[in-house]
Structures are given as structure tokens and as C-alpha cells.
Structure 1
Amino acid sequence: MLQFIREKFQGWIASIIVAGVCIPFILWGVKSYLYGQSNEALVATVNGDKITQHDFLFFYNQYKQQQRINQPISGMALNTTALKEAALQSMISDATLIQNATHDGFVVAPELTDATLAKIPIFQINGVFSSIRFEELLSRMLYTPETFFQQLNDKILINQVRSGFVDTTFVLPNEINRSIALVNQSRSFDYLIIPKNRFLSNVIVSNQAVQDYYTQHSDAFKTTEKVSIDYLRLSLNDLVQSIHPTLSQLKDFYQSNIAAYTIPRQWQIQYINLPLPTQETQKQLDAENQLINTITQQIKSGTDFIKLIQQYSDDKSTAVDVKQLAWINAGQVTDVIRDALMKMKIGDISVPIRTSQGYQILKVINVKPEKILSFDQVKDKITQAYCQQKAEQLFANLNDKLANLTYETPNSLTPTATALNLKIQTTNLFTRQGGDDAFTKDPRILQAAFSDDVIIQHNNSAPINLDENTVVVLRLHQYEPAQIKPFDQVKADIAKQLQDQAAKAQAESVGQKILAVLKTGVPPKVAASSFLLSWQSKQNVKSKDKTLFPEILMAAFQMQRPNKVPTQRGISLASGDYVLIRLTQVQITLPTMMDRLKQQAFSESMSDGYGNLDYSFYTQGLFKKAKVKRYLSLDSTQTGSVNDDT
């Protein structure tokens, strides 16, 4: 069945006219498809190869859907300039890798494509590749088979080069043993904590010291610049909710779009698939004809059709019970198959049907006639589709008016709000780092809100597209410039900070004194007891120990291995406490014969790591040398000529 999938490059509209598919999705698919086909403006070129707006929009829509699946986030966060930039960068990277792979002689054989396709679980039924399932999913994703196979081949081509790096990298035995030894390494050490809090009561901070610190570090006590904004939001979703069609309008819409509410004729079929090479020889043709005659005779003699599928077909996905057979419609098969099915009844077996790839013999198991769904059956979907369509028309009109009116009256949003029946909304104060909600964290809102045009000139902002269905215009509501806090407001905090600093310094001073005493040969216990402190001892500690402070553990494993006498050092903790560490022993356990599995795991992990690192350096070199030119702004709806040579 793969062969007549490859032949079918039309019928995309028919493939989405099925029961249960909502009209807004159909309209989105048609709109994006037609728009893409008609617009060949250049977005970028990569070493001379073109990326058109059609190419970009198609890839971007697929990329956006994939991001929704992989990282579910709010609708506002999607459709951002950053997402479009990431999609374009992915296209540029793939184009660069494909060009270089092709230049270096890498190719993808058809057999590899078929083998890869057959292993993709989403296209399988009962663990076996199903052509019907394949067609169904491609239809849903608005892919043509031609586009899908091209993208699949591109991914295989890129992965072949990557595999060349990863699969040929090797690790020497001594590297593996050294890595295992480092992971298995254990350390024994003593540590002494000198708490900062012990010295706090001894620290007296004068008012003059606080005043001097305030004067010398005044910038540290500046308030953060803040704004709040008024804004108008034009939202397609809000417009959809505001439309309330009459029954007559819905019925007219139903009649005008009757095809969308028609379930096409459907079949359950079983088939025998007999492939032929693209460049078949006469000998191969003769062998195929002989096989077809044999199968035809067995069909006439009453041989069970499922047994014939299992014996002769290269696609055995339909050799199952009727309950497991998928339903297909005319939009999911090639014209020649569709024409044959239209003439067949339940139980009929077709003559061998020749396609460009081979022969198919079909058996019709069940048929569902075409059915027009009644108005009452689909009233909710009709209402949704009608409101969506009218809202899109209204949105386009109001969007233009929003831009014009806010430009013509730059010192107020009120005239525009009145004319378009929009509500002026106001935010809380927020900083350049953003506020407490997604709206005031949006980079585009922050950029506009803190722009000179808004803060200094007090103008309305230009329209800001938060996503494809939401536009915002904002202006300044309140501005709080950055200013130094009064001394009385911060003096208590300064005093506490100076007290902490002094206590921390005293803790470190004590630690350094103890270290100095230890170097003279005084026993650690004696050196610590004079300060009423005691050592803690840890034996054979691993680097992933969870019972110790991470800072102490990291410091202990960074220390030089002791030679006859312990290695000693002191460190300050984030808390302000000071810690002395005496490393007494480092124990390294070399791998044994019992560690074969561990050695194998390390070998694979290290070679993969080295291989991926080499591949990363390789791709970075290619990207650096690639000649990329950008022509069209990703946020623009018109062709442009902005060049950005990189």
C-alpha cells in the first residue's frame, strides 16, 4: 500500500471532510494552505538555497504544534517572535546539515526510508505498519505524502552523518577504568564549623558606620523603576463570544457549507500488495505477471483471502479480523483505487490494479454509504464555525481601525475604546523585569511600556501582536522613577548587614588561627578545644553523599590528595559560617572482572558523549561558515528587503 500512498498528492480537501472534525480547524487548514501556496516571498537563503514564506509558514505551524505537545504552555507564550525565530533557526540549521551531507556523498536509499517508516509506532496497527493509518494521520496533520517523505528523508540524512560520528567513536580501556575509579572514589576527612552567630553579640555597629556605608553605597538602596499601563486588548476569542447568530443565519451557513457536514462513503477493505521496483526489468514483470495469475486462480478457487495476504502481500496489516479493520474514505486513497472501490459491493474482490509502484488486489469487507448529517445533529458545530468565521472577519476590520485610531489620537485611548467598544484596562505597577502575571512579563509589553515614546513622549504604543489572535495598544498610566530610599528606611538593614559581615570576618579569622596552629603540629582536637569547638569525622564518603552540606562535600573532593600529612583548607559557607576541612585519605577502587557490565555501560556512555561532542563541534563549524541572508521580518505580512548577512 506504500506505493499508492506515494502516488496520492491531491485530494487534501476531501481528506478533512469527515464526521467529528470541527469547521474552525478545516478553515484554518484551508487558509494556511492557500496562503502558503500563493506567497513565495523570501524569508531567508542558506548558501543560496531559498526558504520561502510558504516553506516557513508550513514549518512554523508544525513546529508550533510540536511545542504545544512537548511543552504545554499558555497560548500567549506561543506564537511569539522568539518561537518564530526558533522555527526559522531550525530550518536554517537543517538546510545547512542537509547541504553538507549531500555534498559529502550521503544518500538515503528507498529501502531505508521504507524500513524507517515501518518502524514508526504511530503508523502501526497491532505492531504492523498500516498504510491506511499512515494516510489518516497525514491527513490530520495537513501533510501530503510527498512532503512527509521529503522531511523523513532529510531527518534520516542528517542522522546518518551524526551516526557517523557517534558510532565510530571509541574509548580506551584505561579511560574507562579511570572514569569508573573517579566515580567510585571515596574520601575520609574531618571538618570543623565555626558558626558566624557565635560572634554576633560581640559586634557593635556605630551609627556613623551605618551612615558612612549608606553614603558610599547609595546606589544599592535605589528603588526599582516602575510603571503601570492602560491598555486596549482586541481578542479574536472575545469577538467569538460576542456573536449570537439567529437560527436563520445558521441554517443558511449550513446549506452553504453542506460538504463539511457530509460523511463520505467509507469502506473496510483487505488487500494484497505486490510491489515492483521503480526501474523494473522485463524479467521482473514476467515474474510478477506469473505471480498475479497464481493468486487470481487461487481467488477463483475460493482460497481464503486472509491466507493469500499472509502468503503474498508485503503489507499484512489488513490480515486481521473485521473488527480491527480501519474505515477509509475516498480522500485517503489514490484516484485509481477510489474508482475501483466505487464500483464494488461487499464481498467483491477486484482485478489486479496496476499503479506506478506495483499491483493491488482489493476485497471490500463493509461499506458505509455517504451520509449528510442533519442540521440538528451538527448545530453546535455550525454555531461554532459561524461565530469563528464572522469573528475573524470582524477582527481583521477592527485591527485596522485600532491601529489607525490610536495613531490619530496618540495622547489618549479613550476615543478608540469608545469607537471600538473596548474596555480600557489597567495593570499594577511592574518593573523592567516584569510584573506578577504573564501579561506584564511579556517581553514585548515590557519593551513598549518602558520605551521613551511611552514614558517620555506620553504617546500610545504601536499595536503589539501578542499572538495571531490578540493585539494590544498601551499607554502610560503611572510612572515611578528609580530613587534612593531615605536613610531612616534602610538604616536597620544596613546595621544588620554590617553586623553579619563583621561576624563572618571574625569566624574566618578564628578559622585561620586554628589552621596556623595545626601547621605547627598541634593535634586538631587541642587546637579546636581552645575555641570550644569540636571536629566532625567522615569516613569513606562518596561524591554523591546526601548527608553533608553540598559546599563542604564539594570542597573536600576538590582538595589535593594527602601525602603523608592531611591536606587542610578553610572555606566560607553561604550562611556566613567558616569551615575547616582536613582531608586524611583518598581511596580509589579500580574496576575488577566483576565490573564487566559497568565497564560496558561506561564505554557506551563515554563514547556517545565524545561522539556527540565531536558532532557538535562539526555542526558549529558548518553553521559558522554558512552564508545566511534574511529578507523578510518574521512579524511582517508584506514582502521586505531587509538584509542581514551572517
Structure 2
Amino acid sequence: MLDFFRNHQRLMMLMLVLVIVPGLGVLGIQGFRGFFDESANVASVNGHKITRAEFDSAMRQQLDQARQFLGAQFDSKALDTPARRRDLLDNLIQQHALADEAQREYLTASDAAVRRALLADPVISSLRKPDGSIDVDRYKQLLAMQGMTPEQYDERVRYGLAVDQIPQSIEESAFTPKALADRISQLAEAQRTVQALVLHASDYASKVQPTDAQLSAYYAAHSADFATPATATIDYLVLSPAALATGVTPSDSDAKKYYDDNIAHYTTPREVRVSQILIASPKSASPADDAKAKAKADAVLAEVKAHPDQFAQIAQKESQDPGSAAKGGDLGWSTSGTLTGEKAFDTAAMALNKDEVSSVVHSSFGYHVIKVTDVKPAVTKPFDEVKASILKDLATELATKAYSDDSDGFTSTVYEQAKSLKPAADKYKLTIQTATVTTKPNPALPPASPLNNPKFLTAVFADDSVKSHNNTQAIDVGNSTLIAAHVTDYKSAATPPLASIKDAVRAKYVAEQADELARKDGEAKLAALQKSKSTAGFAAEQKVSRMDTQGVSPLALSAIFKADDSKLPAYVGVDLGNDGYAIYRVNAVVPPAPIDSARLAAAQRQLAQVDAQTQLEAYVESLRKRSKVKLYGSLDASQSDSQ
């Protein structure tokens, strides 16, 4: 079929024009593509699509956060794995299911909550001017770059806060009784004194002397284990921003312009350390009480001006703010001016210089006398210090744009010039690479390697590639990466004759038989020891607990703590598989020390967090089951549609 398309391109183009052009007037190009192509989406939840663009954006955000956290140790290949991508998709599905539930429950967030969330955003905080106010024009520019207005962003934040109410309510309601926390802590800290006797499988290998007849029988029964898979030697091209980065080089002037346009990103805003004296007068106060509070505040201000070096002592005596009075009124450092959420207070505080005292400031809490006790001026990093990172970011941005511009053309060239990758390599200045692949991902490669992508491997081993010797299509493997291949050599799957792999067959047979001998010998020794109660052959005693395993395997630790502590010494045996067989002599039980109130409270909090997480996962899972979830299989070939 593909050969027909390639050999009759003019005819096919005419047919496509006749069919497609009338439809574009109704659907638009993107709409028409989406009508047929579900590859633009990765999943849907209750009919709401999770688009490939949304998924890729979330993946980039995850990687950016990891890059900031890990710094020089960041490795995108180690983090962008099929398992992580499937976890991310699960998270997006959960978010959409939670969003639908929040909508059904009519959940929302107040204007005040939205304002607090916005001001707590570090990106928005970085837009602070020296006077503490937000650079509104720069804020609008940043949002415009993302295709949003401030009003739209406000609603996005409100939406997020509303959805968060569901998991927050579950987490806040979790509770662990003291008795349960105490019991679990005792179980975790309880110790048992044990001795180990390990029968290593390797010690039994010399006892296994297989005959040719035994090896032949073993080979016949396990021939599939020794089969060599089908292999393909390929030329391949990878189109990605990284592959195109060498062709884009931003200039120093580009970097300087970016620096000037984004100077706020390189400026540490002014910080002030603020102290206050509060004379409380809530909104519910009567006019007479409010007047008394105002007069009291005026008197306090007069006292502070008379004794400016005694502000802390006056605050301890007069301030009615329980959080700061004991600390001499100290509210700590602020870079944003959002000390209280009260505009009058924050504006007054940010306007003060070191050791200056404000006039009486009125807020919804009452009347404040404010003092700035220290100041850290705004500091802007010089251009030369950040030039290298700006050039790197600009190169990445240009390469990403080049990828966006070239991806369609690359796809067409690979398809139309089907007998070689050289035309595409020359056109897009890419290097043709070679590799040998099998139908299964190669564990020696990073999991995120394009060569391990299931869709790509399926295309490589398709008849059109192997028999017709055509290029594969340009396969989208995610993370803004396309890969295309041309098979230069193919070898079908085969089972080699016993004579050529006899040593490998022998090694596998000996290993399995040695494991079995160690297990049988171990079980026999265990039975004898349970009768004799001997200590012969055991290693020195050691104390183990569930929290401090001393290198004991989880399987063995489970057996040790299941031993009947009323009949000590007790003996337990554990099959360690390829490592042999282990016998443990349990000599004594060491009860844990009494748990003090602080440790018990910490254990309660930790267990409550675990319980909250478990409840939340169960809730989300039940919510997902109630939702109509469909996977389009665009992350890897193993996904299938489900309803």
C-alpha cells in the first residue's frame, strides 16, 4: 500500500486536494487533522481531552524543576523514562478527574485566597519593584507570552485552589490514635538477637557434573531461553531541539537585549526586617472602643519617638499581637511587602528605611506602629555574570523554534525520499547514526533513548522497512523528538544449535542445580537444628529490627519476626534464590525502650500523613473508576483503549 502511494504521488495529491480542501472551510486545518488523528491527544477523562501539547508541557515543567534542583547532576535521559511518562499521565488523569468532581460539588476559591496565592508565587514576587509594588506591565508581558491575560490567570489559580480543596480536606481529616501510634512504634523498634548460617549456591556448583544427555534434555526443554531475537542494523536520524542546537548561535547583543528586557529576573529585591506594635481594634469594635485604641496607639508612638532605642521593650509591654509581642514585635524579613496581607501596613513598612518608625497605621486588625530594624538593598547581577546562562537559554529557545519549523518538512522528506535518509540529513544538517536493534528495548541503553521506543521498534521491524527497504515514518517519541530509520541489514530470530552455545547451556544448568542443592541441604539442616538446638556453624550474634535490618534481606527479616518468641531459640529458613539458602537462629527478643511523648507525637503525625496519603489514593482511584477514562496509546505501544 505504501509503495502505491509513493509511486503514484501526483494522483494521490490530486485526490487529497479534491477531498480535503472543501472540508477545510468547515473544520479548519487543525480541526480537520484532529477529526481523524487522535495522536494529538494522549487520553480523555469524561470526554475532556488531555492533549499531547498539555502532556509535553507538563513533562517539560517536571524536567525544568528537576534541572533547577539537581543543577550539574541533572540528566534528562535518566529522568525522562517511559515509566515516569506513564506516571505523569496518571497524574494528569487524576487532576482532570478531581477537577470534574470539584465542578460537580460547586467548589470555588475566594478573591482573597486567589490574591494570597498569587503573591506567594516566587515568579510574581520577582517582579517586585524597590518600593514593594508589583511591576504590572512586566506581569502582563509574562502572561501575554503564555497567551493569557491577568484575568485568565486569576481564574486558572482560582480553579487550582478549588480542585485542591478535595485532597486538602482528606489530608486534614486524617488522624492516628495514640495507642495505635505507640503500638506501631514498638513493633518498628523491637529487636531480635539472631545468628545466621548461609549456604551459598556457588559452594555447590562443583558438585554438579552434567552429562551430555542431561545438557541435551535441558536445552530441548529450555530452547526458548537461548533463542537469539530478530535484529536489524539501521541508519537513523534524530530531529530534536538538541540536534538542531549546533545550527543556532545567539549573539552577545541578543543576550544583552534579553537581559535588559528581563532585568527583574536577575535582581534580588529589597528586603526589610520589620517590627510592629499592634493596638487591637477589630472591625466589630464600637466607635468608642476604636477611638480608645487609636488614642492608645498615638501614645505608644509618642513613647517610641521619645525612646527609639527601646522599641522592642515597648512592644513586649504594649503590643497586643500574640505572635510577635514576645519577640519585641519582630515579624522577620520580607522581600514582597506581604507581611500581613493588609495593603496599608505593607505599603508603610516597605517605604521605611533602616531604624525609621512609621506614623500610626490603621488596618482591619487595629492600629500599628511599625519600625524597620534592618534593610538589604536590591542587588542586580551584572550582565557578564549571567551572560553564559542567557546564551544557553536563548540557544535552547531558538533550537525549539527550529524544531517546530522543521518537523513537518522532516517528516515529509523522510517519507517522500524513502530509499535513503541522506536527503533529510543533508537538508536539516543532521548526522546519520547507526545501531543494531531488536524487537525489544535494550536494557543497556537509557530507558528514554529513542531507540527503545516501542512504536519506533515496531516500525523498524515492519515489512515495509525490512522487506521493501523503505525508510520508517518519522516517529514521534515524545519530548519534542522525531526519529526515522532505514534498515541496512536484517537477521530473523533463530535458536542456535547446542554445539555453538554448549558452555552457556552448561553454566545455566549448573547454576540452577546448585541453587536446588543449596535449598535441599538447607531444608535438611533446618530440620536437624530444630531438633538439636545447636549453634554450630552460625555467625556471631547481631541485633536486627524492622528499622535497622543490619543487611538482612526483607524476606529473611519477615521470617525472623514471624518466629514464635515463646519457644526460643527458634530456627527459620529462607530460600534466597540465586544466593542460596539461609538459616537464622533467633536467640532473644529485645523489647523497645518506652516511647516519650515527643517521639509519640512525631509518630502520630507521620502515621497520619501515611493514612492521609492512603485515603487520598483510594479516593482518587475510586474517582477514576467512576470516570470515563480513555487512553490513546500515544505514550508507548503497550497502552490500549479502556472505558
TM bucket by the smaller chain? 0.5 to 0.7
- How far apart are the structure 2 equivalents of 1:551 and 1:460? 50
**1:224–1:483: 8 Å Cα contact kept in structure 2?**
yes
Show CA shifts across 1:332-390 (max 9, x none): xxxx9xxxxxxxxxxxx999999999999999x99x9xx9x99x999999988987777
1:200 aligns with 2:202: no
Residue 612 (structure 2) aligns with = 612
Letter in 2 for 1:489: S
1:210 aligns with 2:215: yes
Corresponding residue to 2:491 among 480, 486, 489:
480
* Structure 1 residue 501 displacement after superposition: 4.9
Residue 31 (structure 1) aligns with = none
The 1:160/1:231 distance shift into structure 2, 3 A limit, reads same
- How far apart are the structure 2 equivalents of 1:456 and 1:246? 48
Residues 43-442 of structure 1 aligned to structure 2 (within 5 Å): 62-69=61-68, 73-75=74-76, 86-87=87-88, 89-97=90-98, 100=101, 132=132, 147-148=156-157, 151-152=160-161, 154-155=163-164, 158-164=167-173, 166-167=174-175, 169-172=176-179, 176-177=182-183, 180=186, 183-187=189-193, 191=197, 193=199, 197=203, 200-201=206-207, 203-237=208-242, 239-243=244-248, 394-429=402-437, 432-434=440-442, 436-438=444-446, 441-442=449-450
**1:569–1:580: 8 Å Cα contact kept in structure 2?**
yes
Letter in 2 for 1:411: K
The 1:62/1:580 distance shift into structure 2, 3 A limit, reads closer
Letter in 2 for 1:608: A
Show CA shifts across 1:411-451 (max 9, x none): 32123333444332212556622264448833764431343
SS of alignment partner, residue 484 of structure 2:
strand
**2:236–2:433: 8 Å Cα contact kept in structure 1?**
yes
1:546 aligns with 2:550: yes
SS of alignment partner, residue 434 of structure 1:
coil
- How far apart are the structure 1 equivalents of 2:366 and 2:45? 38
Letter in 2 for 1:447: K
- How far apart are the structure 1 equivalents of 2:84 and 2:557? 41
Residue 19 (structure 1) aligns with = none
* Structure 1 residue 481 displacement after superposition: 3.0
**1:433–1:441: 8 Å Cα contact kept in structure 2?**
no
- How far apart are the structure 2 equivalents of 1:80 and 1:124? 33
Residue 600 (structure 1) aligns with = 600
Unaligned runs of 5+ in 2: 1-39, 144-149, 338-343, 345-356
Show CA shifts across 1:565-615 (max 9, x none): x6556554445655555x5x66445567x4434872585167426633651
The 1:494/1:282 distance shift into structure 2, 3 A limit, reads closer
Corresponding residue to 1:535 among 537, 544, 553:
537
Show CA shifts across 1:526-576 (max 9, x none): xxxxxxx94327657434453778776654444445649x65565544456
SS of alignment partner, residue 461 of structure 1:
coil
**1:245–1:383: 8 Å Cα contact kept in structure 2?**
yes
Show CA shifts across 1:175-196 (max 9, x none): 8347615742425568585876
- Cα RMSD, aligned residues only: 7.0
SS of alignment partner, residue 596 of structure 2:
helix
TM-score normalised according to structure 1 size: 0.59
Q: How many equivalent pairs are there?
A: 564
Show CA shifts across 1:8-65 (max 9, x none): xxxxxxxxxxxxxxxxxxxxxxxxxxxxxxxxx9987756889799987876664453
Show CA shifts across 1:292-333 (max 9, x none): 9x99xx99xx999x98xx9999999xx999xx99699xxxxx
TM-score normalised according to structure 2 size: 0.59
SS of alignment partner, residue 477 of structure 1:
strand
**Once the two structures are aligned, what percentage of the paired residues are identical?**
19
- How far apart are the structure 2 equivalents of 1:154 and 1:618? 17
1:624 aligns with 2:629: no
SS of alignment partner, residue 542 of structure 1:
strand
* Structure 1 residue 463 displacement after superposition: 2.1
Residue 10 (structure 1) aligns with = none
Unaligned runs of 5+ in 1: 1-40, 329-335, 337-348, 526-532, 636-642
Residue 26 (structure 1) aligns with = none
- How far apart are the structure 1 equivalents of 2:205 and 2:625? 60
- How far apart are the structure 1 equivalents of 2:258 and 2:116? 45
* Structure 1 residue 233 displacement after superposition: 2.8
